[in-house]
Amino acid sequence: MKILLTAVNAKYIHSNLGIYSLKAYADQVLGLGEAGGRNAREENRETGTCREDLAEPCIELAEYTINHQLDLILQDIFRREPDVIAFSCYIWNIEYIRYLIADLGKILPDVPIWLGGPEVSFDAANVLRELPEVTGIIKGEGEETFARLAGYYVDKWCEKGTDSGKSLPDIQSGLEDIPGLAFRLPDGTLADTGVRQVMDMSRIPFPYKHMDIKDLEHRIIYYESSRGCPFSCSYCLSSIDKSVRFRSLELVLDELAYFLAARVPQVKFVDRTFNCNKKHAMAIWQFIQSQDNGVTNFHFEIAADLLDQEQMELLSLMRPGLVQLEIGVQSTNPDTLKAIRRKTDIDEIRRITGTINKGHNVHQHLDLIAGLPNENLECFRRSFNQVYSMEPEQLQLGFLKVLKGSYMEEMAPSYGLCYSSRPPYEVLSTRWLSYRDILELKGVEDMVEVYYNSRQFVHTLAELAGEYGSPYEMFLDMAAYYRENHLSGISHSRIARYEILYSIIARHGAAGMDASVMERFRDLLMYDLYLRENVKSRPSFARDQSPYKQAVRQFFQREEECPLYLANYEGYDSRQMSKMAHIEAMGDGTLVLFDYRHRDPLTYNARAFRIR
């Protein structure tokens, strides 16, 4: 007997912590898999002995992505021969799951299909009415509920050697005694067993304990040390659960030690506000700092204005690249912050992010949300420019999603919120923003992603923003150029992106930029290009380097004989050195050396010297 826990993730690099936790807890409670044998199962379930001629029941994981062809997912699920299927549902995958279950209901008509996750938890009755193939829904926090549900099916299987089918045989079937479910009865009516109380997080087994960590070698490892959020942001479902609960620090540190020993590339904490409890946060940060393996990176979502001096001092000790901080600013407009019930001290965030930047060891990711109440286009421009000036490594410009069950959904009529009827329910217009305004912001978002968040144009953008008067106007002009030249929606090569930006600068320069300034931008673009990679292809605007060949050759010959800049290149001759490093001649004849054997640990940029 097989229960198939199924996830359709947004990207291959993502792993689904939700289904891992469900399986780990159910295996422990029921004594399945690595967590126990038949005797443990019988003791935990307090049921009779399973038929000896039947295979052991199991809970199996299946992970796909939204980039997989639906037919291939369908085929794979069918070949796994599940007796029960359960899907993890979010805004990014619900459309795919709707298509899947419509066909699964045809090819596996007797297999119960259950849904869980935030996209179905808060509107269970309507989901069941819309999707006749679905047997029922697990509402809210799922570990206890799923374990009871799995036990129900295992018991039925042990008793009859078969599952009970999509519909319950009678009202006394047992499901009505499991809190946290909504399901359909044989007569077509719907049953709802209410909401289950949240559980002690320390009771959940470590989800990765019996997994082969090598299966996640090229994926982000998601981990949670707390659930719930103390804040009440109106657009967020986490605000519904204000009962912030923490996993035992003893367990957390032991589990982090497992990741460190396995040398996994990245562990991303999914805690909604990681540093809402100082003692908890400090203990974890002290541990990863003291046990740093030089490889593993840890990502945290924090409230920056909660950081105090002691926490800042600890962060300053971190190895460059050990820690990433994601900070939700969302808006700098006081009226907007008040409307979304978000308590944020923008001046304090600016001070703290600036202090962190000075340490040059912690990656900062700042978030903005477009489409919030009381924020028109001009207000958003100010928010954007203010957050941009904080110089984060990443600036995420997101758009409001009106999530089911959120306070924002309740307030949508009064805000004039018009949003997509399809997931992810993204804003189309508000009382303060027209759809045309939204399109303008979409263009800016695209350019920020290509030119800012790639970190490939850092020095060029730093100076270019000054020529436009503001960063927002710079990205707005970029978006206009892309649109006018039909460049949007195309995957451009890295060299092509440099050539496009050069053309954008040239067009802007034609309106009055001094020729020497234009030449300065040509140098900056080449500098940014070679900082990251010793590219062999050169952009069309690149300067002819042939007049400097002799000087470059002589430099590497000197370094071979008596190294001054390339001291760690012992054993390589001058020709080999010239291929391993790069020298670029700038417009004024200055030679810049790019040393790729020495890189900035935070940005991965090559070490650069002006050698003449």
How many domains is the chain partitioned into structurally? Answer: 4
Mean pLDDT of 55-75: 92
C-alpha dihedral (184, 186, 188, 190), degrees to nearest 10: -30
Q: Is the pLDDT of residue 48 over 60?
A: no
Cis ω before 186 (30° cut-off from 0) = no
Give mean pLDDT, residues 402-424.
92
Task: Verify that 323 and 415 share a domain, yes or no.
Answer: yes
With contact defined as beta carbons under 8 Å apart, do 401 and 431 qualify?
no
The C-alpha R_g of the chain, in whole angstroms, comes to 28
Check whether residue 158 and residue 235 sit in a common domain.
no
Question: Are residues 44 and 29 in contact, defined by beta-carbon separation less than 8 angstroms?
Answer: yes
241: confidence class by pLDDT, cuts 50, 70, 90 = low
CA distance readout (Å), 140 to 41, 137, 201: 26, 10, 14
Q: Where residue 14 sits, what CATH number does that domain have?
A: 3.40.50.280
Beta bridge partners of 192: 182
Dump pLDDT digits (tens) for 127-148: 999 999 999 999 999 999 999 9
Helix or strand or coil: residue 223? strand
Residues 116, 29, single domain; the answer is yes
| φ, ψ dihedrals at 609, nearest 5° | -130, 140
Q: For residue 316, what are the CA distances in angstroms to 88, 289, 364? A: 39, 10, 13
Does residue 45 have a pLDDT over 60? no
Q: From 433, 463, 494, give the residue that closes a domain.
A: 433
Q: Rounded distance, CA 101 to CA 127, Å?
A: 12
Q: Is residue 206 a part of any domain in this protein? A: no
Q: Is the Cβ–Cβ distance between 332 and 386 less than 8 Å?
A: yes
293 and 396 belong to one structural domain:
yes
Q: Residue range 514-518: average pLDDT?
A: 87
Q: Which are the contacts of 397, defined by CB distance < 8 A and separation ≥ 6? A: 368, 370, 384, 441, 444, 445, 448
E strand intervals along 190-240? 190-192, 221-223, 226-227
Q: Are 256 and 249 in contact (CB under 8 A)?
A: no
Average pLDDT of the chain is 91
At residue 112, the pLDDT reads: 95
pLDDT at 344: 84
Given this model, what pLDDT does residue 55 score? Answer: 61
Q: Is residue 439 part of a domain?
A: no
Tokens of 310: 């002691």
Amino acid at 34: E
Closest CA to 331 of 195, 433, 446, 217: 433
Please check whether residues 454 and 575 belong to one and the same domain: no
The answer as to whether 333 is a domain residue is yes
The amino acid occupying position 558 is: R
Instruction: Give the β-pairing of 181-184 and 190-192.
Output: antiparallel
pTM equals 0.90
More confident residue, 338 or 187: 338
| Cβ-contact 44, 30 below 8 angstroms | yes
Which helix (H) or strand (E) segment holds residue 281: the answer is helix 278-290
DSSP assignment, residue 451?
A: I
- pLDDT beyond 70 at 446: yes
* Separation of alpha carbons 366 and 394, rounded Å: 6
Matching residue, tokens 């009771």: 203
Q: Are residues 569 and 535 in the same domain?
A: no
Is 201 domain-assigned? no
The DSSP secondary structure of 2-30, one letter per residue, reads EEEEEEEESSTT---HHHHHHHHHHHHHH
8 Å CB contact between 138 and 195: no
**For residues 581 and 566, is the Cβ–Cβ distance under 8 A?**
yes
Round to whole Å and give the CA distance between 308 and 278. 9
Q: Considering the domain boundaries, does residue 212 fall inside one?
A: no
Residue 441, C-beta contacts closer than 8 angstroms, at least 6 positions apart:
370, 377, 380, 397, 399, 433
Cα(158)–Cα(116) distance, rounded to whole angstroms?
Answer: 25
- Helix (H) or strand (E) run with residue 262 in it: helix 249-262
> Which amino acid is it at 554?
Q
Evaluate whether residue 197 is within a structural domain: no
Please check whether residues 185 and 238 belong to one and the same domain.
no
3-class DSSP state of 422: coil
Residues 104, 235, single domain; the answer is: no
Q: Is pLDDT above 50 for 172?
A: no
* Per-residue pLDDT band at 168 (split at 50, 70, 90): very low
What is the per-residue pLDDT for 510?
A: 72
Pair (379, 452) in one structural domain: no
Domain that holds residue 288: 220-433
Q: How far is CA 204 from the centre of its chain?
A: 23
Strands 136-138 and 181-184: antiparallel
Both 308 and 352 in one domain: the answer is yes
pLDDT bucket at 234, cuts 50 / 70 / 90: confident
Lowest mean pLDDT: which of 135-139, 219-223, 229-233, 548-552?
229-233
**Rounded Cα gap, residues 178 and 198, in angstroms:** 14
Listing DSSP states for 113-141 in one string gives EEEESHHHHTTHHHHHHH-TT--EEE-SS
193: which 2 tokens? 């067993």
Closest CA to 224 of 11, 12, 24: 24
Reported as type and span, the H/E element at residue 175 is none
Q: What is the pLDDT of residue 609?
A: 93
Q: Are 35 and 27 in contact (CB under 8 A)?
A: yes
CA angle 248, 252, 254 (to 5 degrees): 120
| pLDDT, mean of residues 56-79 | 94
Band (pLDDT 50/70/90 cuts) for residue 52 is: very low
pLDDT tier, 243 (very low <50, low <70, confident <90, very high otherwise): confident
Q: Which of 516, 540, 564 is the last residue of a domain?
A: 540
DSSP percent split of the chain into helix, strand, coil, nearest 5: 45, 15, 40
Between 159 and 598, name the one with better pLDDT: 598
pLDDT, residue 456, reads: 96
pLDDT at 296 over 60: yes
Closest CA to 204 of 25, 41, 19, 17: 25
Q: What is the mean pLDDT of residues 489-495?
A: 94
For residue 41, the model assigns a pLDDT of 37
Final residue of a structural domain among 540, 569, 588: 540
278 lies in the same domain as 182 = no
- Residue 200 within any structural domain of the chain: no
**pLDDT tens per residue across span 346-400:** 999 999 999 999 999 999 999 999 999 999 999 999 999 999 999 999 999 999 9
SS (H, E, C) 332-399: CCHHHHHHCCCCCCHHHHHHHHHHHHHHCCCEEEEEEEECCCCCCHHHHHHHHHHHHCCCCCEEEEEE
Q: Model confidence over 77-130: pLDDT tens digits? A: 999 999 999 999 999 999 999 999 999 999 999 999 999 999 999 889 999 999
Residues 499 and 511 in one domain: yes
Window from 32-36, 216-220, 316-320, 540-544 with minimum mean pLDDT: 32-36
Conformation bin of residue 590: beta by default, left when phi > 0, alpha when psi is -120 to 50? beta
Residue 43's pLDDT band, with cuts at 50, 70 and 90, is: very low
Percent of the chain with pLDDT over 90: 80
What's the farthest any 2 CA atoms get from each other in the chain?
A: 90
Lowest mean pLDDT among 82-91, 208-217, 393-402, 418-427: 208-217
**Structure-derived torsion over alpha carbons of residues 97, 103, 104, 109, reported in degrees to the nearest 10:** 140
Q: Let me know if residue 418 belongs to a domain.
A: yes
Domain of 368, CATH number, reads: 3.80.30.20
What is the mean pLDDT of the segment spanning 150-177?
Answer: 68
Phi-psi region of 489 (alpha: psi -120 to 50; beta: other; left: phi over 0): left
